[in-house]
Amino acid sequence: MGKNALGVILVVIGGLMVMKFIGIHLGWIIGILMPFILIGFGVVGIRNNSKVIGSILIVVGGLMLLPKLFGLISLLLAIALIVWGVSMFKNRQKRI
């Protein structure tokens, strides 16, 4: 890891600590980003011939992401049911 990347990481961590100190909490953003970060590290690990660690990171990131995606999947299912129900009403009116 280069000095620039390390510097960016240190600045981000320090900035998050300062924001928490002054009362700005971004835990929900970190909760959403962390699975994607783990999946990204897993992909990088697989590309660098570290298949076991990369695969583990991808699986852990995916498992962390599942509860967050469940809400989205439920919303899409609800919308699909509404559209299906409305289409059934429209088809019923055409037959009469």
User: pLDDT digit string (tens) for 34-52?
Assistant: 888 889 888 988 998 888 9
Q: How confident is residue 94, by pLDDT bands cut at 50, 70 and 90?
A: low
Per-residue pLDDT tens for 57-70? Answer: 999 999 988 888 88
- The pLDDT assigned to 95 comes to 60
Query: What is the rounded distance in angstroms from the CA atom of residue 38 to the CA atom of residue 58?
Result: 6
Query: How confident is the prediction for the chain on average, in pLDDT?
Result: 83
Query: What is the rounded distance in angstroms from the CA atom of residue 6 to the CA atom of residue 13?
Result: 11
Report whether pLDDT(82) > 90: yes
- Provide the whole-model pTM: 0.55
One-letter amino acid of 86: V
Q: How confident is residue 83, by pLDDT bands cut at 50, 70 and 90?
A: very high
What percent of the chain is modeled with pLDDT above 90?
18
